[in-house]
Structure 1
């Protein structure tokens, strides 16, 4: 299936690793002109080289920390309103584990800044560029916990739910541009963050990281974690011309974890 992405201008914020990197790689494979952005120059350089080797596409990159107030100015300076942006993917975010009574205000503020304010800054800075784009689409990364909250992840559950409210609201406000806005909400995915977490839990319980992964995978109807590419496939489809009538949606890619009808 031709996704209609050849020659399109795409930016993946959070594109140096994990789902963001997988998304950038797939966009490049579809013929899009891809730029990746994240905080770490070394990881960005390596990611761009990886994409170049696997897709024979040149990938631009630049550093930005969306948790900082200067991010908006940096993005605006790079993408003026005259530079059309067709696809914007924001995969930044993260979760912190613990019970409700273990977190003070700082933890709430920091996670909110990462999961909600960061994407807000990116979208706000690039609205002019998106308006100048061709069939522009925004895809934000939600989380399965926003729809079916996980135990011991109260902070990120709340904030990712807020992100889905942002997606729904923006889809209405930007429909006349017309800019489509959607979220992909992944379940447990074999990213570096999850592998690091498995190592930490394994050390605490004197078992192997593989055994930790197996325990968590047993809770998933499909019986396994997702690969980053499986989430990225959904992101790229929703960003493409083939999804031209889809907006305001949070699409779960969670292996069947979510039990709700809606």
Structure 2
């Protein structure tokens, strides 16, 4: 199936690792002109080299810390300097704090809010003028299955990722008359560097192997394994494509069935 990516202009915020990097690689392989943004120049260079090694066009890179107030303007300036408009925006940023509720400070809540919600708000707000000039423009945010099935001891990200769903649904309605679609992909447990580092730390503390730890965390997933970043990115790429032209305001779980709710 031709997804219609040839010549499309795509900005991936958080594109230097994990699902963002996999998304950039797949979009590039489909023929998109890709710009990836991250706060680490070293990570960006490594990601761009890795994507090019797959046979996709080497993406352009932009150093940008999305937790900073001027991040949206930095992203918009870079996009408009490279192109005269923007077709696709993917915000693949966010994280969690594993802690009990009582141990969390106001600073923990505010910092995670900035990372999980405000970074995406700033990016979308600043890039709307560029997207309005785009061809079949689309925004895809990266949420989490935890927004529909909250995990214990991850209350901060549970709350903020649920807020991201609300942002996606509301923006989809507000931006529909401008021809901009907005959707969210909600991954479950995915084998990204974040998870491998966490598993390695737990394995070291418990005198076990990474595979043992990942196996334990796979037991409550109906498919009995973690996703690959590419499996999640495939859904992102489809939702952002013209093939999904009648889909907006949706949050699609790619979670191996771990979230059991009907909605």
- TM bucket (normalised to shorter chain) is over 0.9
Which stretches in structure 1 are left out of the alignment for 5+ residues? none
- SS of corresponding position for 1:12: strand
In 2, the alpha carbon distance for the partners of 1:75 and 1:11 equals 9
Partner Cα separation in structure 2 for residue 174 and residue 257 of structure 1: 31
Give the drift of 1:181.
Answer: 0.2
Q: Alpha-carbon deviations, 1:89-144, whole Å to 9, x = none?
A: 01010011011111010100010000000001110110000000000000000001
2:17 aligned with 1:53, yes or no? no
Tell which deviates more after alignment, 148-157 or 203-212: 203-212
Q: 1:142 to 1:56 in 2, by over 3 A?
A: closer
Q: Give the direction of change, closer, same or farther, for the CA distance of 1:56–1:231 in structure 2 (3 Å limit).
A: closer
Q: CA RMSD in A?
A: 1.1
User: Which stretch shifts more, 55-64 or 210-219?
Assistant: 55-64
Once structures 1 and 2 are overlaid, which stretch shifts more, 189-198 or 206-215? 206-215
SS of 1:175's equivalent in the other structure is helix
Deviation at 1:46, TM superposition (A): 1.3
Q: Distance in 1 between matches of 2:199 and 2:75?
A: 35
Q: Which runs of 5+ in 2 are unaligned?
A: none
C-alpha contact 2:183 2:250 (8 A) present in aligned 1? yes
Partner of 2:156: 155
> What is the distance in 2 between the residues matched to 1:226 and 1:233?
11
Are residues 1:233 and 2:234 paired? Answer: yes
3-state SS of 1:3 partner: coil
User: 2:121 and 2:56 mapped to 1: Cα distance?
Assistant: 32
Alignment correspondent of 1:87: 88
Counterpart contact for 1:149–1:157, Cα < 8 Å: yes
Provide closer, same or farther for how the CA distance between residues 261 and 59 of structure 1 changes in structure 2, counting only shifts above 3 A.
same
Give the distance between the partners of 1:115 and 1:215, measured in 2 at CA: 27
Distance (whole Å) between structure 1 residues aligned to residue 194 and residue 72 of structure 2: 26
2:24 and 2:79 map into 1 onto residues whose CA distance is 18
Number of the residue aligned with 2:76: 76
CA apart distance, 1:80: 3.5
The number of residue pairs the alignment matches comes to 262
**Residue 178 of structure 2: SS of its match in structure 1?**
coil
Match of 2:116 in 1: 115
TM-score normalized with structure 2 length:
0.97
C-alpha separation in 1, matches of 2:11 and 2:231: 19
2:106 corresponding residue in structure 1: 105
Query: What residue is the counterpart of 1:181 in the other structure?
Result: 182
Partner in structure 2 of residue 220 of structure 1: 221
Q: How does 1:198-217 map to 2 (within 5 A)?
A: 198-217=199-218
- TM norm structure 1: 0.98
2:23 and 2:233 in contact (8 A); partners too: yes
